[in-house]
Amino acid sequence: MIPQVFKEVIDLGDGREISIETGKLAKQAHGSVVVQSGKCMLLCTVVSNYEQKDLPFLPLTVDYREKFAAAGRYPGGFFKREARPSDGEVLTMRLVDRVLRPLFPKDYTAETQVMIQLMSHDDDVMPEAMAGLAASAAIQLSDLPFECAISEARVGRVNGEFVINPTRAQLEESDIDMMIGASADSVMMVEGEMEEISEEEMIEAIKFAHEAIKLQIEAQHRLADAFGRKEVREYEGAVENEELAKQVHDMAYDKVYAVAKAGSSKQERTAAFATIKEEVKASFSEEELEEHGGLVSEYYRKAEKAAVRDLTVNEGLRLDGRKTNEVRDIWCEIDYLPSVHGSAIFTRGETQALATVTLGTSRDANKIDMPSYEGEENFYLHYNFPPFCTGEARPIRGTSRREVGHGNLAQRGLKGMIPDDCPYTVRVVSEVLESNGSSSMATVCAGTMAMMDAGIKMIKPVSGIAMGLISDADSGKYAVLSDILGDEDHLGDMDFKVTGTADGITACQMDIKVKGLRYEVLVAALKQARDGRLHILEKLTDTIAVPREDVKPHSPKMVTRRIPNEFIGAIIGPGGKVIQELQKETGTTIVINEDPVTEEGIIEILGTDQEGIDKVLAKIDSVTFKPVKGSVYEVKVIKVLDFGVVVEYLDAPGNEVLLHISELAWERTTNVTDVLNMGDVLDVKYFGVDPKTRKEKVSRKALLPRPPREEKKDSSNSKKED
C-alpha cells in the first residue's frame, strides 16, 4: 500500500515548476523530501541524534552526491562505484552548509547529517540550484531545533533579463552566475561570478533572487502544515550563569579593549589576550574552575568579542591599529622561481601567497566527469593551505573542502580575463605561505601577476579584497572593514570577498550573519571594497604593468594549426608511428583534436625549441600540400624510370608526382637520362588531374620555349611549275 503523499508546487514564472513532496521515501529519516524539476529529482534526508555531544560546535555534516545511474551512466575509471566526492559536489555541500549552520541553536551539539542525492538527471536542470531548498524542506518536516526556513536560488542575466535557476545553455549566454541563500527576511549567503558588473547591478540580482526564494519558503511552510508539524525536540542546552558572565565581563572587558586599541601584531596580541584570560581564570578557585571552567572560558570569549567590536564601531580603530578603510602594507615580486613558466609572490600584511603557472596543451585540461556535467577546463586553479601558514602543526589528510572552495572562488575571479584565443591550457597553483586575513584574495592577486609573468595575454588584471562588517543594532552604527584580519573574520556580522578589474566585479563570496541587513549598507560595503580593490590593483600593476610579450625562453611555445579532416590519419600514421617519431625527432608535444563544428583537425604543437616546432610545421605543410592548377613548383628528381621520372616537391617533402617522358621536352625524347638524372632540380607546371589517365599531370616542357614549326612544301604548286 502506497502511503499518503504530500506535495507542493512552486511556479518559476516561465512555464517551469519545482515540486517538493514527502511521505513516500526514506520515512525512517527524521525528515525527507523529494524535490523535482523536469526530470531532475533530488532526495534529501536529515537525521540528528538525540544525544548531545560535549563539543563547542555543532557537528553538522552536509553531504551532496550525484549518482551516475541518475544520468544512465557508469562511473568512469576502473572502480565502477561512486567514491570520494568530486570538487563540484564539495562546492555544493559548502553552499548549503554555509546557510544552514548559523540557524541551529548555538548550544545544540547533537550529531546532525543532511544528505542530498541526485537520483534522476535532466540536462536542462542544474541540480545544485535546488539543493538548499531540499535541505531546508527536509528540516522543516523534522523535529530539529532550527530557526527558520531558508532556500537558495541561482540567478543569471540573459540579454539584460534576470532568470531564476537558468539552464546550462542560458548560463553560457549569461553575464551573471550567482547563488543566493536567504530566509524570508534576510539574505544570508551570496556566491558567484560575473562579467565586470557594477555594485548596483549585483544588488539588483540579489534582490531578484530573494523574491523567488520567498516563494520557495512559502511552499515549504505549506508542505509542513499539510504533513503535520512535529513538536520541536527538547535537548539539554548550555547552562547559563548571568552573575558569572557579568563578573568575567567586568574583569576582562577594559583590559581587552586596551590591548585591542594598542594596534599590536598578531603574535603580541594573541599573547596579551592569553595573559588576560589566565588572569581571569586565576581569580577563581580550583573548585570554581572545576565546576564552571567551561563557562569562564566562554564568557571571556564573549567579553573579548564585545570589546573588539565596540572599539571598531565607536572609535573606528582595529586590532592592528588601522582605520576601517585602510589596507595593510603590500609588497609583490614576479619571476621568483627560475624554472617555472610563471611565478609571483603577493604579500599583504601577514598573508602571503606564492603562485605558479604551468602551460600545457589541451591534453592537460582538467576533465570534469559528473553525472550532471561532463566537460573540460582549459584554465584551472588549485589552492593549498598547509598548516605552517598559521603557525600550526597538524596532519595533512588530503585536500580539504575549504581548499576546494577557496581555490574555486579565486578561479572564478580570474577565468573571465583569460582570452578565448589563448592557445594554452593554464594551471595556476597557489601555495599559501602565511595567513592572517584572506588568502583566497591573495591568491587572486598572485595568480594575476604569475600569469602576466608567464606571458598569458590577460584581458585585464584582477585584484581581490576581503571585507568585514560590524554593526550595532541598538545605535544603528556600523563599520565596514577593508582587508580584514583572521580575528575580524570571526567577530564580524558579515564577511565578503570581492574580485574584479578596474571596470567591475568578476566574482564574490559573502556570508551575512546579521538579520535584516539593509541593502544600502550592503551597497556602501561594496563601494568601499571597490576602493580597496583598486588600491591593491595599483600595487599589482606597479610590479608588472602588462603581460610579457612572449613566454619565457624555457617555457613551451604553442602553435596551433588547422588542417582538413582527411589529412589527420596521414599525420598520425599507422598505429601512431608518424606522430610518435615526429615528437621524438623534434622534442615537441603534438596533440590532434577534431573540431566538432567544422570537423577540421586542430593540431597543437608545444615545444621549447623553435627549430623543432618549425620542423613539425614543415611536416604538416608537406602532408597537407595540395598543388594549385596552373602554378609552377620547384621539384627534385628522386627516381628515374623508363617512361619518366618521379619528382618531389621541394616545398613539400614526401609529396611525389610522375613527370612523364612526353613532358620532358618539346623534342622527342628516347632516353630519359638524355634530359634528367637523379638529384636534378627543375621547375614544373601543374595541370591538375589528366582526364584521360586520371592521374596528376606536371610538365617541364610547358615552361620551355616552343620551337617554331617547320613550313610544309606546297605540292600542288610544285606540280604546276613542272
Q: In which region does residue 93 sit, left (phi positive, over 0), alpha (psi from -120 to 50) or beta (all else)?
A: alpha
Cβ proximity of 463 and 505 under 8 Å: no
**CB of 114 within 8 A of CB of 60?**
yes
What is the distance, to the nearest Å, from the Cα of residue 160 to the centroid of all Cα atoms in its chain? 24
CB atoms within 10 A of CB 489: 16
Q: What CA–CA distance (Å, rounded) separates 135 from 96?
A: 8
Query: How far is 223 from 206, CA to CA, in rounded Å?
Result: 26
Q: Is 489 annotated as a binding residue?
A: yes
- 91 to 17, 128, 175: CA distances (angstroms): 25, 9, 21
Helix (H, G, I), strand (E, B) or coil at 300: helix
Task: Confirm if 114 and 61 have CB atoms less than 8 A apart.
Answer: yes
Residue with the three cell numbers 625527432: 585
Q: What is the rounded (10 degree) CA torsion for 682, 687, 691, 692?
A: -30
3-state SS record for 144-165? CCCCCCCEEEEEEEECCEEEEC
The CA-CA-CA angle for residues 174, 179, 184, to 5°, reads 125
Most distant pair of Cα atoms in the chain: their distance: 158
Count CB-CB contacts under 10 A for residue 674. Answer: 11
123 labelled as ligand-binding? no
Residue 270 CA to residue 275 CA, distance in Å, equals: 9
Cα–Cα distance between 691 and 620 in angstroms, integer?
A: 29
* 35: Cα within 13 Å, side-chain hemisphere: 27
Three cell numbers, residue 397: 589528510
First to last CA, the chain: 129
Is the C-alpha dihedral spanning 98, 103, 108, 110 positive or negative?
A: negative
Q: How far is 364 from 425, CA to CA, in rounded Å? A: 6
Measured CA to CA in angstroms, residue 637 lies from 52, 590, 701 at distances of 91, 31, 15
- Nearest CA to 531 out of 459, 470, 480 is that of 480
C-alpha cell at 294: 567551561
Q: Please report, in range form, the residues annotated as the binding site.
A: 489, 495
Which residues are annotated as part of the binding site for Mg(2+)?
489, 495
